[in-house]
Amino acid sequence: MKPEIWDERSCLIGEGPVALGADNSTVLWVDILEKKVLSKNFLTGEIGEFDTAEDVGFVIPRSNGGYILGTANGPILQDPDGTEHLLPTRIAVDGAEGKNPMRWNDAKVAPDGHLFLGSMTYEELPGEGALYRLDKTATSMERLVSNVTVSNGLGWNRAGDKFFYIDTYSFGVDQFDYHDGKISNRTPVWRRSSESDGYPDGMCMDADDGLWIAFWGGSCLRHLDKDFNLVEVIDFPVPNVSSCAFAGPELDHLIVTTARRGTSDSQSGKTFILKPGVTGLATTLFPG
């Protein structure tokens, strides 16, 4: 289960891996501050990348091709031919942007097609971020959770009635009831045991409703079972582990992003792979 380097390209802040295609073998992720979307095929090894006009917090594949890109002042919808369309933004929901520059961070599509996306200030100022929902028709956005510092990992159980969420500076995972794009009954279900554990960042779900959480400053992934018991800790040779996603025809490999920001070692920022011994859930595509 030892992680190995899967992609040698070093990201300043690698984040948000997703897998798509009939065999879940085309993997995309972002380098947020380098304004890049990167890709690699799990089976062929073919690599690619393209630039974005602004810092990009996430890339979300669409069912009909193209992407939703979490550009700092977006999000935007990008067609397969590269044509871009502006979607509802934070300003549409909140009015004029605040005095502190903000960007999008992690995002995922719910099992019923709505896009959940979170914001943060560049300086990680307490309470200035939020969690939003872009409806599955991509025509309206709503703020769901306020007083967030760094909106991060998201996931849903297989039944689709529970939503899991990380605000990094809450130091753990909260659970919500979920129905038709609505969340309710927020409950803390897991918290780190000490500061040396690092900061919970991105996460993904396995087929047994287990959570796989990347820890920034913690040099590891932590695996929680469906009852939020800590099952295992997978150590990495780099400090800032940022996110993960299951990929490959059997969805039995984890692709794990890292960041070189604030580090000097040669492996930081590269993208890793490991076989965790469980299968995961496929990336949900945005409809349309």
Whether residue 200 contacts residue 173, with contact meaning beta carbons closer than 8 Å, is answered with yes
Q: What are phi and psi of 130, to 5 degrees?
A: -160, 170
pLDDT of residue 1: 73
Look at the pTM and tell me if it is higher than 0.85: yes
- Residue 168: both structure tokens together: 């990094």
| Rounded Cα–Cα distance for residues 186 and 177 (Å) | 7
| Rounded Cα–Cα distance for residues 116 and 102 (Å) | 17
DSSP secondary structure of the chain? ---EEEE-PPPSSEEEEEEETTTT-EEEEEETTTTEEEEEETTT--EEEEE-SS-EEEEEEBTTS-EEEEETT--EEE-TTS-EEEPP-HHHHHSS--SS-EEEEEEEE-TTSPEEEEEEETT--TT-EEEEEE-TTSS-EEEEEEEESBEEEEEE-TTS-EEEEEEGGGTEEEEEEEETTEEEEEEEEEE-SSGGG-EEEEEEEBTTS-EEEEEETTTEEEEE-TT--EEEEEE-SSSBEEEEEEESTTS-EEEEEE--TT--SSSTT-EEEE--SS-BPPPPPBP-
Conformation bin of residue 124: beta by default, left when phi > 0, alpha when psi is -120 to 50: left
In this prediction, residues 157-174 reach a mean pLDDT of 97
Residue 98 has pLDDT above 80, yes or no: no
Q: What are phi and psi of 70, to 5 degrees?
A: -85, 60
In this prediction, residues 180-190 reach a mean pLDDT of 97
Quick one: pLDDT band at residue 15, thresholds 50, 70, 90? very high
Q: Which residues pair with 47 in a beta bridge?
A: 40
pLDDT of residue 99: 80
Where do the domains of the chain lie?
4-274
In this prediction, residues 235-258 reach a mean pLDDT of 98
In this prediction, residues 9-15 reach a mean pLDDT of 98
pLDDT of residue 110: 98
Residue 68 has pLDDT above 80, yes or no: yes
Quick one: pLDDT band at residue 104, thresholds 50, 70, 90? very high
Q: Among residues 135, 136, 138, 182, which one has the least CA distance to residue 156?
A: 182
pLDDT digits (tens, 9 = 90+) for 28-51: 999 999 999 999 999 999 999 999
pLDDT digits (tens, 9 = 90+) for 188-237: 999 999 999 999 999 999 999 999 999 999 999 999 999 999 999 999 99
Q: Which residues pair with 155 in a beta bridge?
A: 164
Query: CB-based contacts of 195: which residues, under 8 Å, 6+ apart?
Result: none
Distance of alpha carbon 218 from the chain centroid: 17
- Residue 212: both structure tokens together: 């796989």
Hey, what amino acid is at 219? S
Q: What are phi and psi of 33, to 5 degrees?
A: -85, -10
pLDDT of residue 253: 98
Please state which CATH class domain 4-274 belongs to.
mainly beta
Q: Which percentage of the chain shows pLDDT scores above 70?
A: 100
Whether residue 216 contacts residue 106, with contact meaning beta carbons closer than 8 Å, is answered with no
Strand ranges of the sheet holding 162-167, from the earlier edge strand across to the other edge: 151-156, 162-167, 172-179, 182-191
